[in-house]
């Protein structure tokens, strides 16, 4: 990779983890956004999806102060606002960076019951070229890693981990070839009954395999962003870890597995509540900033949007209130990215 390309990619990646900012994951597929709209009794039409995303992107305070980038779905990156302005322009005009989800979803891994591998490499080079023309400057690919239930240590299998990390590396190399920063997302799900130590084991192994694959694929780490899970117990675990333990073990795991050349780590919320995701991120930045070589930030979907979509309810008269709810969550996470969030600030509004 020549120096000019590396500098371009690194500049974008660095902006994605600017102080007080993080990434809005607004890349819900058509099926996923329908589930969100079902909770508020709203039909999932193209116009309704557009109106909701436009509501978020026109929240000026959040977009300018606390959102460094927005991950879009294929439909959204092509859409225009009600007044005819391309949605990518709304994002860029606010000083945020448009991005794009490019994987085709997790599919069953042959002969591995319950395990998944993410697809979407076929034709990816051409799609990335088009997305760059449409304004995307970073992309996202999600790998899904599940942990066996009831103490089953056969899941995830080595084959599953290796297949997913290899796909992430191939995707990342193609992104950089097209002047797009790849977000690599190896998500260890928190759906099971595993304890925090089992999550640590799986997360550490997955990350070490990922960076091995990225090395072999000749991916420049300075032009990448990592989007992982926090090290946390499964939602069905008998014992839930404290915020302090989650922060301590997450930072320890990542210091063991993530190279210092990576500009930043943007956590997914992974089923945590809005406030829990904020509090855990804050704990890491408040107590461990001096031992971390990379920025720790957020790339949240539901943990940034849940209150906003509930407040909006699909009604035009609720747009301002929904924007206020979104701005509040963005501000709280911006504070957490700096280790400056407190429960008093959370409740002040």
- Would residue 21 show up in a list of annotated catalytic residues for this protein? no
Would residue 227 show up in a list of annotated catalytic residues for this protein? yes
Both ends of the chain: CA-CA distance in Å?
48
How far apart CA 91 and CA 64 sit, in angstroms, is 9
| Catalytic residue chosen out of the listed positions 28, 54, 115, 185 | 185
| DSSP of 111-151 | T-TT-EEE---TTHHHHHHHHHHHT--EEEEEEEE---STT
CA distance 98 to 120: 20
Strands 181-188 vs 225-226: parallel, antiparallel or unpaired: parallel
Per the structure block, which two tokens stand in for 49? 């999806």
- ∠ at Cα 87 (14, 66), nearest 5°? 40
Q: What is the DSSP string of 196-221?
A: HHHHHHHHHHHHHHHHHHHHHTT--G
Phi then psi for residue 347, to 5 deg, are -90, -5
CB atoms within 10 A of CB 201: 15
**Three-class secondary structure of residue 295 per DSSP:** strand
Distance CA 330, CA 278 (A): 10
Those residues whose C-beta lies under 8 Å from the C-beta of residue 124, and which sit 6 or more positions away, are 102, 171, 174
User: How far is Cα 336 from Cα 134, in angstroms, rounded to an integer?
Assistant: 32
In the set 21, 116, 140, 227, the catalytic residue is 227
Active site residues: 185, 227
């Amino acid at each position: 990779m020549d120096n000019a390309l590396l500098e371009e990619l690194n500049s974008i990646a660095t902006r994605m983890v600017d102080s007080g900012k993080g990434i809005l994951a607004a890349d819900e597929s058509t099926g996923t956004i329908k589930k969100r709209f079902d909770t508020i009794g709203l039909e999932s039409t193209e116009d309704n999806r557009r109106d909701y995303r436009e509501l978020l992107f026109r929240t000026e305070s959040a977009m300018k102060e606390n959102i460094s980038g927005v991950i879009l779905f294929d439909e959204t990156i092509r859409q225009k606002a009600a007044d005819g302005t391309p949605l990518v322009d709304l994002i860029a005009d606010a000083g945020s960076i448009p991005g794009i989800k490019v994987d085709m979803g997790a599919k069953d891994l042959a002969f591995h019951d319950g395990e998944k591998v993410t697809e979407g490499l076929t034709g990816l080079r051409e799609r990335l070229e088009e997305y760059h023309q449409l304004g995307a400057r970073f992309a996202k690919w999600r790998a899904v890693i599940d942990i066996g239930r009831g103490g089953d240590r056969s899941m995830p299998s080595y084959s599953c981990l290796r297949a997913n990390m290899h796909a992430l590396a191939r995707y990342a190399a193609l992104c950089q070839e097209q002047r797009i920063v790849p977000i690599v997302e190896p998500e260890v799900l928190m759906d099971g009954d595993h304890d925090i130590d089992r999550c640590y084991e799986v997360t550490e192994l997955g990350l070490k395999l990922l960076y091995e694959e990225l090395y072999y694929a000749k991916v420049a780490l300075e032009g990448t962003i990592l989007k992982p899970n926090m090290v946390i117990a499964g939602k069905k675990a008998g014992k839930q870890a404290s915020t302090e333990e989650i922060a301590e073990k997450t930072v320890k795991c990542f210091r063991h597995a993530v190279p210092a050349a990576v500009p930043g780590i943007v956590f997914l919320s992974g089923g945590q509540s809005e406030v829990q995701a904020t509090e855990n991120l804050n704990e890491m930045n408040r107590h461990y900033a001096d031992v971390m070589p990379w920025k720790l930030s957020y790339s949240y979907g539901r943990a940034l949007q849940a209150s906003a979509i509930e407040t909006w309810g699909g009604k035009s008269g609720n747009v301002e209130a929904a924007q206020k709810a979104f701005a509040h969550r963005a501000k709280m996470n911006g504070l957490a990215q700096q280790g400056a969030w407190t429960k008093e600030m959370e409740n002040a509004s």
